[in-house]
Structure 1
Amino acid sequence: MFNSLYKKTDNAPLVVFRILLGLLMIYHCISHIFDGTVYSLYVKPKVTFSFIGMEWLQPLPGNGMYIYFWAMAVFAICITVGFWYRFSTAFFTILWAGTYFMQKTVYNNHHYLILLLLIIMLMFPANAYASVDSKLYPKIKQRSMPVWYIWIFILQIAIVYFFASVAKFYPDWLNGRFTGFITRKINNPYITWLTFNHQFHLFIAYGGILFDLLIVPLLLYKKTRNVAAILSVGFHLFNWAMLNIGIFPFLSMSYLAFFYPPETIRALLLRKKPPLTQDELNGIDLSSKNLLRYFFIPYFIIQLALPIRHHFIKGDVLWTEEGHRLSWRMMLKNKKGTAVFAVEDKTTNDSFVYDLTKILTRLQIKNLANKPDMIWQTAQIIKNEYAKKGHNVAVYVTAKVSVNKRTSRLLIDPKVDLAHTRWNYFAHNEWILLYYELQ
């Protein structure tokens, strides 16, 4: 069984995916420059909410972030054409990780997936064919790869879909309440009869669960593969048209390259590529077995552990957000809130409400109110601001949050000085109130 993982197969899927991923990254980087995303997330803010522990990771000053994204676009072009592939992919991955960990005002699981895919692509010789590198350095040219390369990609996307499906098993998804919020946002007067229909909300809810749970098995099974591929394309195009979720639908459709026989992908998309001989197909490639054993096995153990860590943290992750990130909990709730920060000078006992607009953008203020980690970071920012002036202050927060348009409840214990608390990454922070606590 294990020997079958090392059998040679055509590397067309890996080559095609390199090109498609590169094109998507080019579009993503350049569109973010021109649609205002770089400005609103990296240039305009006076302070940024990086991942806790990575506060040193800050946007470049002035027009630096525009140069940063243009550099990413250049590296993405190099990935696409396979020029200095390892170098380009390594630097693009570092820069992409920088944008991901640098700000979480707008958090996107899809960007995390892309980071993981970039790491995987960095490990594989995706420039071995149809690349500038293989033209310049013919010695690296290869037409085959071990079968396990394909299974790495399939396992990665299977983990994403599986945990996305499991996360939907909560009341407001199952009863169509949340999917109703999504569909009613679709601004098309010709289909309001559908988007406001509760039966349609239930169809979307259970269809989403079944799609996430079954799409990978259906794509793996030859007899259902074509139907599953059509469903996948339709599903992702619908999401792209209706939900404004960036490049993820096209990334998902690109992934279909790993579910069809490599010879089929070669015949369809790399027609000039010679097919492998029978002797080559019967060969075994053990050159990268240590990569599988010592990198990818630990890698997937981590990938399976991260999405379940919230089960070991007190409270409901839907409310506390503890264990939410890096767990494929995508588009599950409508969560809005308000947060008032009260500052108290410990020397004079004077207190006042802090004006968040002095340091934060409207987008940051809107998004931090229901996220305890960002609330805690804001308290630290305020404390440091006054410490520079020689003042020792306490910061108390009254944050009220509504989940799926229900009555607002207190999220943060207003009696706790957040300026002098520590963030606990691995357990529940007791100053985050549970849903029925102290209400």
Structure 2
Amino acid sequence: ILMMLDIPQERGMSHADIYYPNEDKECQFPLFNFLGPFRAEYMVVIYFIMFLSAVGITLGFFYRLATISFTITYWYIFLLDKTSWNNHSYLYGLIGFQLMFFDAHHYWSIDGLFRKKIRNSHVPLWNYALVRYQIFLVYFLAGLKKTEWDWVAGYSMDSLGDHWVFSPFRTFMTVEQITLILVHVCGLLFDLCIGFVLFFDCSRPIGIIFAVTFHLMNSQMFNIGMFPYTMLATVPIFFHNDWLRKFVNRYVPKFLYKEESLQYSSSCLYSKEEIKPEESKTQSLKSAIANATSVKNAPVKATFRHKVFAIFALLYLTEQAFLPYSHFITKGYNNWTNGLYGYSWDMMVHSWHTQHVKITFVDKKTNEPHYLRPTAWASAKRWSSHADMIVQYAQCIEGKLQEHGYDDVELHFDIWRSMNGRFNQRQIDPRIDLLSSDAKWSPFEDTSWLLPLLTNLSDWRTRMLQIENDLSSKDQNVLITFVADFPGLFLENYIPPDLNTTIEVLEGQIIVELISLKRNITLNVGQNITVPNGDYHNVYTVSSTPSCYMYVYLNQSDADIVHLWDRFYNLTDRLLNETIDRNRPLHSDKEEADLVRLSYEHVFEQLRNKTIHELLELPSDYTIHNKNESNINWTNIRLQFETSMNRSIVKRLDTKVKWHERNLRLFKSFMNKKKKQFLRCYQIVKLAFKSIIHQTDFIQLVEDEINNVEEESTTNTIVTEESPPQSSSKPSSSSKKSSSTSGKTKKKHTKK
């Protein structure tokens, strides 16, 4: 059932026409280079087959065929795009693969209605053991991966302590304590222990409470699709095999469900005592063994089929335990972390921040350098994290450049990343031509052009945090970037006109080249320099060891806008409180949330008719620092302020709305989202078959019949998170202009 909900969303069925547009616009990142997508209309059909297979598995209808077709289509789409890989998508594929060999259609299935031989027949115990083992590994190996120092010391998820799910704990714990103790230490203990706790009868009730709480919290903290709910659905796997039958027999009314006796199954292996005559069985054995009419299906000796499945189960168990630690074989997939992404179960252990990606190609005919946008032919950003995808992207770019007349080029990538709060540093050597023989890559050999993670600088993280806190306490508008670089390399950087920037050396020695001033300045530890804005500069590492330095940015323009926002917020909040006090006697029958909503409408009508200069009493010639009057879009600033205010009001309303009303609103929002996804799936499936049958252009059909259909404007909306409340009064000219601009932007985005 969860896969039926997941396929239109995370698997991408509802937007398959966008992912596979029938034009070679973007580069592909399949696991094997010979894999490629079909035309868009056929990809939609493949998604449709996968969805129907999920329905068939759920209902037990043509179960064996459904599991095979689901597994083939799922793994095909999964292997097509490595940029979307994650652990839970891999888990779904594994469970689908297991279901091909399981007898999960022996109970409450449509197949059982037509095949009396399998109806209510036993399911082999190894089916339960295999899926229990799989879920146990997800927990236990994730716990083993969390024994790394970065997780134990609290560097992996350093910002989760601020999340609202931990608000009850903030009454007696600091954010830092929540992050270290609850997120990291308790997360480690949970993953290591929960599999064992759920396995044993005496501890299972406690395990259920912790597992349900853990996964519900994850569903709120992380945007990981159906994974938390999938793990919730796997908790009953650890129960006794007959728990559902007992539950139904006890709580479902007899007129809705009639209990039928169990049957022996040829898939199982029985002892002679289990199939002996009914009168000689013990009472406990009678309750567990099937009726005597199916005894002919009860083998007492292992057949060839039993032996094959026993070998398969043992091989699968061994492979799943070995694969997450097979990094010494798949060396090409090792980088700062070991292993091919997607099957190592190192969930949330590493947090990444990509600071900068620069792609340079040099035309060998003219020796002239050119720069490419990193997302020119790849909208996904994950390619920059892995050597295999970097090589694939480089080869794809080579082909794209040939189409534009560049037949002989050099290609260089400069990728700066940070892992778990460390310095931003280079991930690959920017001097390597990725199209040359020096940029070899093999899945079974180390990648020589990858630069190592500077683990010797890991202890700097505590000092970096202290520096950041000290500077932020002096000025909240300060932004700090910590950089580490290798000897012999240099960083080319551009400072926007809005930023006042200084560079300070923390370790090593650097030379700062101010290009426009034609000056070179040498800096040692503790020294700093202000670099000119609106210009490029180069930072060379000249020490024999890696250099460490920090950029300190002060965006005066943002500071001015924040100051204006504070004035706008205080003004709006004061008017709102006054209006609420004035309206309360007049609307004593209204709930507090309705009163706030009504009062905000009145305030918004008052503010709408005034310009931002009038509201904030600004001089007519007021300008923002480092910006000319012609560059200031006051309409956009006004819209940003109103949007931020709307978000603030939504949060305020959430505190006034009763919890069941809030949950009902969230449920309705979820259902509306799913309704739109399923509706679009239905539309593109219909158009895909129409395109195949009539040999018409599928993408054009989608453009004509879906994308160009104007959406009906919603009415009766008062306050939403992104749009201001609608007033019945005639808007001012500035409001008309804003509305028109917003409409054009929305239409353009939809078309894109």
TM-score after normalising by structure 1? 0.83
Q: Please show how residues 345-384 of structure 1 align to structure 2 within 5 Å.
A: 345-361=363-379, 364=380, 366-384=381-399
* Match status 1:157 vs 2:135: yes
**Larger displacement relative to structure 2 (95-104 or 36-45):** 36-45
Structure 1: how far apart are the matches of 2:392 and 2:14? 25
1:306 maps to amino acid: L
Q: 1:269, CA displacement in angstroms?
A: 4.6
Structure 2's unaligned 5+ residue stretches are 253-257, 263-277, 279-284, 291-297, 455-485, 488-545, 547-752
Structure 1: how far apart are the matches of 2:333 and 2:203? 37
* Match status 1:327 vs 2:344: yes
Structure 2: how far apart are the matches of 1:124 and 1:132? 16
Q: 1:87, CA displacement in angstroms?
A: 1.0
Q: 1:254 aligns with which of 226, 233, 237?
A: 233
Structure 2: how far apart are the matches of 1:132 and 1:370? 46
CA 1:123–1:176: 2 relative to 1, 3 Å = same
Look up the match of 1:341: 359
Q: 1:75, CA displacement in angstroms?
A: 1.7
Q: Please show how residues 290-309 of structure 1 align to structure 2 within 5 Å.
A: 290-309=307-326
Look up the match of 2:418: 402
* Match status 1:110 vs 2:127: no
* Match status 1:428 vs 2:446: yes
Look up the match of 1:199: 177
* Alignment check: 8 A CA contact 2:415 2:428 kept: yes
CA 1:89–1:384: 2 relative to 1, 3 Å = same
2:447 maps to amino acid: N
CA 1:315–1:240: 2 relative to 1, 3 Å = same
CA 1:32–1:273: 2 relative to 1, 3 Å = farther
2:394 maps to amino acid: A
1:226 maps to amino acid: P
For residues 326-365 of structure 1, give each alpha carbon's deviation from its aligned partner in whole angstroms, at most 9, with x where no partner exists.
Answer: 111111222122221221234443332223343122xx1x
Q: Please show how residues 131-170 of structure 1 align to structure 2 within 5 Å.
A: 131-170=109-148
* Alignment check: 8 A CA contact 1:47 1:360 kept: yes
* Alignment check: 8 A CA contact 2:334 2:340 kept: yes
CA 1:305–1:98: 2 relative to 1, 3 Å = same
2:431 maps to amino acid: K
Look up the match of 1:10: none
Alignment partner of 2:219: what SS?
helix
For residues 402-431 of structure 1, give each alpha carbon's deviation from its aligned partner in whole angstroms, at most 9, with x where no partner exists.
Answer: 112332111001122222333221232111
Structure 2: how far apart are the matches of 1:135 and 1:377? 51
CA 1:434–1:343: 2 relative to 1, 3 Å = same
Alignment partner of 1:341: what SS?
strand
Alignment partner of 1:255: what SS?
helix
CA 1:36–1:340: 2 relative to 1, 3 Å = farther
* Alignment check: 8 A CA contact 1:85 1:127 kept: yes
Q: 1:418 aligns with which of 434, 452, 460?
A: 434
CA 1:190–1:257: 2 relative to 1, 3 Å = closer
Q: 1:266, CA displacement in angstroms?
A: 1.5
Structure 1: how far apart are the matches of 2:191 and 2:261? 34
* Alignment check: 8 A CA contact 2:327 2:334 kept: yes
* Alignment check: 8 A CA contact 1:162 1:212 kept: yes
Q: 1:246, CA displacement in angstroms?
A: 1.5
Look up the match of 1:11: none
* Alignment check: 8 A CA contact 1:319 1:434 kept: yes
* Alignment check: 8 A CA contact 1:48 1:102 kept: no
1:266 maps to amino acid: R
CA 1:285–1:115: 2 relative to 1, 3 Å = farther
For residues 221-265 of structure 1, give each alpha carbon's deviation from its aligned partner in whole angstroms, at most 9, with x where no partner exists.
Answer: 111011111211111111112222211122212222321112222
* Alignment check: 8 A CA contact 2:27 2:377 kept: no
* Match status 1:310 vs 2:299: no
Structure 1's unaligned 5+ residue stretches are 1-22
Q: 1:63, CA displacement in angstroms?
A: 5.0
* Alignment check: 8 A CA contact 2:330 2:443 kept: no
Q: 2:194 aligns with which of 215, 220, 233?
A: 215
* Alignment check: 8 A CA contact 1:179 1:204 kept: yes
Alignment partner of 2:326: what SS?
helix
Q: 1:312, CA displacement in angstroms?
A: 6.1
Structure 2: how far apart are the matches of 1:414 and 1:292? 51
**Which structure has the highest helix share of the two?**
1
Structure 1: how far apart are the matches of 2:325 and 2:343? 10
For residues 360-394 of structure 1, give each alpha carbon's deviation from its aligned partner in whole angstroms, at most 9, with x where no partner exists.
Answer: 22xx1x33333333222211111222456571332
CA 1:61–1:359: 2 relative to 1, 3 Å = same
CA 1:299–1:47: 2 relative to 1, 3 Å = farther
Alignment partner of 1:378: what SS?
helix
* Alignment check: 8 A CA contact 1:336 1:370 kept: no
- Greater radius of gyration (CA): 2
1:230 maps to amino acid: I
* Alignment check: 8 A CA contact 2:198 2:238 kept: yes
Structure 1: how far apart are the matches of 2:135 and 2:301? 24
* Match status 1:182 vs 2:160: yes
For residues 118-162 of structure 1, give each alpha carbon's deviation from its aligned partner in whole angstroms, at most 9, with x where no partner exists.
Answer: 111111121122111121222333421222221111111122222
Q: 1:311, CA displacement in angstroms?
A: 5.4
CA 1:319–1:192: 2 relative to 1, 3 Å = farther
State the number of aligned residues: 412
CA 1:46–1:155: 2 relative to 1, 3 Å = same
CA 1:394–1:296: 2 relative to 1, 3 Å = farther
CA 1:240–1:42: 2 relative to 1, 3 Å = farther
**Larger displacement relative to structure 2 (151-160 or 46-55):** 46-55
TM-score after normalising by structure 2? 0.50
Look up the match of 1:18: none
2:377 maps to amino acid: I
Identity across the alignment (%): 27
For residues 4-41 of structure 1, give each alpha carbon's deviation from its aligned partner in whole angstroms, at most 9, with x where no partner exists.
Answer: xxxxxxxxxxxxxxxxxxx1111111345899665665
* Alignment check: 8 A CA contact 2:53 2:66 kept: yes
* Alignment check: 8 A CA contact 2:333 2:340 kept: no
2:340 maps to amino acid: G
Structure 2: how far apart are the matches of 1:192 and 1:352? 53
1:102 maps to amino acid: L
Q: 1:238 aligns with which of 201, 206, 217?
A: 217
Q: 1:168, CA displacement in angstroms?
A: 1.0
1:57 maps to amino acid: G
* Alignment check: 8 A CA contact 1:317 1:324 kept: no
2:116 maps to amino acid: P
Look up the match of 2:100: 122
1:334 maps to amino acid: S
CA 1:370–1:349: 2 relative to 1, 3 Å = same
Q: 1:189, CA displacement in angstroms?
A: 11
CA 1:301–1:427: 2 relative to 1, 3 Å = farther
Alignment partner of 1:310: what SS?
coil
Q: 1:292, CA displacement in angstroms?
A: 3.1
Structure 2: how far apart are the matches of 1:255 and 1:234? 14
Structure 2: how far apart are the matches of 1:227 and 1:189? 21
Structure 1: how far apart are the matches of 2:170 and 2:333? 35
CA 1:273–1:412: 2 relative to 1, 3 Å = farther
Look up the match of 1:228: 207
